[in-house]
Amino acid sequence: MEHLSGGEIVICALKDAGVKHVWGYPGGAALHIYDALYRQEDVEHLLVRHEQAAVHAADGFSRATGEVGTALVTSGPGATNAITGIATAYMDSIPLVVISGQVPKIKIGQDAFQETDMVGVSRPIVKHSFLVTQAEDIAETIAKAYYIASTGRPGPVVVDIPKDVTDPNYKVPYEWPANIKMRSYQPTNKGHRGQLKRAVKTLLSAKKPVIYSGGGVILDNASDQLIELAQRLNYPVTNTLMGLGAYPATDRQFIGMLGMHGTYEANTAMHESDVIFAVGARFDDRVTNDLDKFCPHATIIHIDVDPTSISKNINAHIPVVGTCTSVLNEMLSIADDMATEPDAEAIKDWWARIDQWRADKGIYTANRYEPSVGDIIKPQDAIKALYKATDGNAYVTSDVGQHQMFAAQYYLFDKPRRWINSGGLGTMGFGLPAAMGVQLAFPDAQVACVTGEGSIQMCIQELSTCSQYNLPVKIINLNNSALGMVRQWQDMNYSSRYSQSLYEDSLPDFVALAEAYGHVGMKVTRYEDLEEKMRECFALKDRTVFMDICVDKSEHVYPMQIPGGAMGDLFLNKSEKT
């Protein structure tokens, strides 16, 4: 058996866990680990410019690939800088392992230099955490961390390692545990057979069904099963913000995203439905609107791997705990056995109504916004141009704000894991580092980061990381010279008193800034140039390009649910409501 130091064990364990890339930033408490990293070639480390970005990049990597992302930071400020990234991953159930250095054990509790109780600080935003107290425990702890992060409802796991535990002079036998068993952690995979039968029966008897699928379907790679079930039943499908791409957006049965900025047809269909089949979704407040008015006629079937998600906000009539893939497979086979077909007449009538809603007020049947002209570029059109230039095939990460909602609405995702955004926490600054993670995973893919001039400045330092590792991401900056989403709320709720949402005169010259980092900067001010510039941007395959698009400053995101209303109560534009 090999004898290794704690620092070497950390790296060997990462290798044995299948990790190829670690995003991180060194510092005192992590230096033994960094030294072990230097002396090997199996695990590649990517140096970011801020620990938040390390975690977001690992997160983006995970969302695009389905693998566990890994980040490495030092104690104290390194650890606290990672917190926003960890919280982001936690809210969206993204499997990550974050390794943090810690002050030596004997100094813990002494207010030592760069000491932060990382296990304590991160406790509410991790799936689990460990403080490793001896080198002998590192391998097993890291193995457990990857197991916990990636099974059940995925999530981030923190492994905090005091510096003395990685001491290069103390060597212990290293063995990678072949398999991990934990008596206190045994996630449920398979749904209860009886419940599944009830679920199928109810689903087949529906006259106005909606399939409401969320991020869980993507996390569990259950998109194929979802498509099969939906197409076999000919039922309409809506996706949450986290679930986009699980069902192909260009398919006829897709009725758009639901929720706060969801389509009229999706939100109205939900409200009118008699059966809601919720799979891997959690009835988030950005979906349901007022809980008391939520879908009054619907019988709710709820599939989720996490029992706490079921009947938390909305009572489920038929709860099923299990992974999306296994449950959907089971349901398909039960449906085969039952040999009952949906009520074709009823479903036909239901589709007729949905098609009418689409035709009347849908955002895909006509432009529901003023046209772009001259120097007025509508942000929606910028996303449409992006879609066109990339043939709908890009990985699109986003930040948070109006641009995020426009991207979700107008970039039609036909595949899972292509739309990568911070849905749960809504973290500005997520987009660029996440795009780096995606680009690292898929060096030849087109990766676009749709952002705003506000959000991009929260992690803009990562332009330097893009240079260092040749990550040719394309930054699509919908520049409206304002914290647009904040301003929209101020327009709607505060009589346009723009408290601290404007900064027009102090924005940087983004083209010059990009160039200063060695990248290509492009600026678009006229609608006529948009498509061509967008094509030019993506033709620069090997370059990081910052595309600064000056978009209409007064635009709002619509539809928008009316606060306190039912799902289908929407503002459709600045002057019209449902």
Partner 1 sequence: MKRIISILLENESGALSRVVGLFAQRGYNIDTLTVAPTDDDTLSRLTLTTQSDDQMAEQIVKQLHKLIDTIKVVDLTVGSHIERELMLVKIKASDAEVRAELKSCVEIFRGHVVDVTASTYTVQLTGDSDKLDAFIDAVREIGIMEVVRTGVSGIARGDKFLRV
Given 28, 177, 426, 508, the residue binding ligand TPP (CB under 6 A): 426
* CA-wise closest residue to 460 among 507, 505, 502: 507
Q: Does residue 289 sit in helix, strand or coil?
A: coil
What would the x/- binding string for ligand TPP be over residues 394 to 413, using CB under 6 A?
-----xxxxx----------
478 binds ligand TPP (CB under 6 A): yes
48, two tokens: 């970011």
Mark the segment that binds ligand TPP (CB under 6 A) among 159-167, 202-210, 252-260, 476-484.
476-484
Euclidean distance between the first and final Cα of the chain, in Å? 70
364, two tokens: 């895909």
* Least CB distance to partner 1 at residue 439 (A): 33
482 binds ligand TPP (CB under 6 A): yes
The residue among 318 and 436 lying less far from partner 1, judged by its C-beta, is 318
Give the sheet arrangement for strand 254-257, strand by strand.
Answer: 254-257, 237-239, 209-213, 275-279, 299-304, 318-321
Given 455, 490, 544, 561, the residue binding ligand TPP (CB under 6 A): 455
Alpha-carbon gap, residue 476 to 449, rounded angstroms: 6
Given 49, 312, 368, 553, the residue binding partner 1 (CB under 8 A): 312
* Least CB distance to ligand TPP at residue 52 (A): 10
- Which string of DSSP letters, residue by residue, matches 22-62? EEE---GGGHHHHHHHHT-SSSEEEE-SSHHHHHHHHHHHH
Q: Which of residues 467-506 bind Mg ion (CB under 5 A)?
A: 480, 484
* Least CB distance to partner 1 at residue 74 (A): 21
Q: Which residues does residue 300 pair with via DSSP β-bridges, in sequence order?
A: 276
- Which string of DSSP letters, residue by residue, matches 88-121? HHHHTT--EEEEEEE--GGGTTTT-TT---HHHH
485 binds ligand TPP (CB under 6 A): yes
Instruction: Write the CB contacts of 124 (distance below 8 Å, at least 6 apart in sequence).
Output: none
Q: Does residue 567 sit in helix, strand or coil?
A: coil
Given 149, 428, 549, 560, the residue binding ligand TPP (CB under 6 A): 428
The residue among 306 and 381 lying less far from partner 1, judged by its C-beta, is 306
**At which residue do the structure tokens 């069902």 appear?**
247
Q: Does residue 511 sit in helix, strand or coil?
A: helix
Given 29, 30, 43, 148, the residue binding partner 1 (CB under 8 A): 148
Number of residues that bind ligand TPP (CB under 6 A): 19
572 binds partner 1 (CB under 8 A): no
Count CB atoms within 10 A of the CB of residue 576: 12
232, two tokens: 């076999």
379 binds Mg ion (CB under 5 A): no
Q: Which of residues 484-543 bind partner 1 (CB under 8 A)?
A: none
* Least CB distance to partner 1 at residue 148 (A): 6
107 binds partner 1 (CB under 8 A): no
> What angle is formed at CA 105 by the lines to CA 103 and CA 111, rounded to 5 degrees?
55
User: What is the binding site for partner 1 (CB under 8 A)?
Assistant: 119-120, 123-124, 127-129, 131, 148, 182-185, 306-308, 311-312
User: What is the binding site for Mg ion (CB under 5 A)?
Assistant: 452, 454, 480, 484
User: What is the binding site for ligand TPP (CB under 6 A)?
Assistant: 399-403, 426-428, 452-455, 478, 480, 482-486
